[in-house]
Structure 1
Amino acid sequence: MHGSLREALHIAEQIPLAALDGDDLSALARADRGMVHVELGHLTQGKADLESALAIAVRRRLDHLTAQCMSCLAAVAAAECGFARAAHLGEQAARFATAHGWERTALCAPAYEAAAWAELQRSESAAAERYARLARQSVRGQADPSMEFGARLVGAVSAYERGLQYEGLLELRRAWAACAGRPLMPELAAFAAVAEVEMALAAGRRAWAAEALDRARFRLDGSAETEVLEASVLAARGHHEAARAALRHALDGSVEPVVVSTLIEAWLLEARLCAAHGEQPRAAHALREAVDLAGPRQALRPFRVSAPGLRHLFIRALTGAGPLEPFASEVLRVMPDGTGPAPAVVLTPRETALLQRLPSLHTMDELAADLFVSVNTLKTHLRSIYRKLQVGSRREAVVAARERGLL
């Protein structure tokens, strides 16, 4: 409670858990040790202890400890960038706490913060705003630096998403000032550093972005985050070759990130830099790498805020993405276009139904059966689609339809 996490871990590791196995004290000790591990960024150990404590707490009906473990496990899922899981666990913990009248206590803060961050990354702004508001309410009067900082972080980014760019950026800077010199969970610091540089550069505040980079170097020295953020600042100043050099170690894996979502940002920055220099194949490769990382984690936000001008390249690079095709479609839903509307294409209901199925890997026979028409009729509809979109193949039809917003 006095902020000495290393001392707390040293004490926790001396507790003879085997001798206490299965009783209330064992559950409390495992939960405490798990929370210290999580605060120090030891997510694997922390998760194991918390899950073990949760199992005992549920079995022995220790409701307060159950809520605490559920809330902290949601925070672990967010730190691991498992955003769908974090949103689910956060909602589950919130429901459990609400059933016991604890919904406005600090007990719920990790769950609210995890759910808010997860929904921000999944581009679910309304849900993110709701959880961010609950997070701020739950930490009022709370002295824990990570909880307070986490609530301010999700509130700042949520405000930014609602169009309050300057207010959100200022709130994040204030959050950093409030926790100066105090320990922070490494993953939390990494999320905040990346968000702050991104927000500062978007607002044209390069000096503030440089300050954020300095903070990242202090908190996250030797991590891929510092290299990616340095590359972002260099790119904003027009130093593209230096930016690509700064990205190199993050992209080749020789420097590890604190959070894997930073690598998504890195590959998107690489794609932008390659595209700016006419290196389309390398840019397309970078986009595919970003999708490979983001798809399983449902991380949509980086594509919406960090990939301006890459929509058409993305469409061509990711058409036929196989198992990641549904995620690529979600990316296109949130990805800014930046161009004017293409000429309208009017399709019949049958043609529209067929067009929606073209991105699948189904054969013509399978498509015809799905639409309850003969293969010859299907081919007639397909030729009409090709003519209207001015293309000559199924793949080109999918690309053209996405460029026109038909898919």
Structure 2
Amino acid sequence: MLKLMVACLSMAVMAASAGAAITKAPFGKTADGKAVDLYTLTGKNGFEAKISTFGATLVSLKVPDKNGKLANVVLGFDTVKPYVDGVPFYGATIGRYGNRIALGKFTLDGKPVQLTVNDGPNSLHGGKGFDKRLWTAQPVESKQGPALKLTYVSADGEEGYPGQLTVHVTYAVKADNSLAISYEATTTKPTVVNLTNHSYFNLTGDPKNTILNHLLTLKADRITPVDKTLIPTGELRPVKGTPFDFTKATAIGARIGANDEQLKFGRGYDHNWVLTSGGGKLATAAILEDPTSGRVMEVKTTEPGIQFYSGNFMDGKPAGKGTVYNHRTGLCLETQHFPDSPNKPKFPSTVLKPGQTYHSETVLVFRNAK
């Protein structure tokens, strides 16, 4: 059966059980002519995830609303071309280091490291990161539902990072309408690793709507405030009494225009929240609800932080055939270690050494509001 799955080059059922299946289809080609595949993982209730081998990208995620109507709740594109042409991280696996590192510099084991700088003075999301690389993919057996394991080997010195890093990302569609994303990595030299997924969510299922009426709860009572270049200052600042307090469900648009220095720096929300769980075990980080459709997404993670980004830089420019995503029609909830951790000794460490294995898991659980 496994040989059949690997050999199949056209869209065909690769694994099926009680309505669950994995299929594969062409998605286009990279700039140098390499074929890109699109895998569709379908759960028992029509819950469906589409994943591209370019960037190990979540292209689509169909979820039922309160009336059982399925709609795609992540922003994506119909072919690989917009991703190849450089759309900013839509649905992608981010690495080697998610978020920002100040000036693209840090010291590791007494040795200076200089990374590619691609965000003003800083390094963002690994430079030409994992989102712009072609991954290999293989369906894997899972008792809970269809799963896809993607692999990428990042060369020693790629974008300035030391060590050859072998990375695995596994997407699994489960019977309870959840999508589990598991990460694993090993290295040949001491390095830093901070992997995440950069999907833009819109639970209305219609990207013509903004996300400002979505209700957000974050299981965090502190943030890591930033400077003008969005690098954390090192402080862990309480959110109580500020526009950053989402300890209770609050509409995203309720305070986004407040006269607050941090909101001005980010042009809205673009900050890391310090999760009360502390990381290390799977725990709820965020709950997002669209009151109109009734869709609710609970984000569980083993990570100590979560970056909430409110689509502040979305500009409405065409990004594909007939596709336009206007200002704040999507939001990101990136589970992560804190930005600039390699330069902040008091932040949880992101160092990975030979002989160690990096593990991280995030689960998106969907249900309908009661």
| Shorter-normalised TM range | under 0.3
Higher alpha-carbon Rg:
1
More helix by share: 1
Which protein has greater RCO, CA pairs closer than 8 Å, 6+ apart? Answer: 2
Q: TM-score scaled by structure 1?
A: 0.22
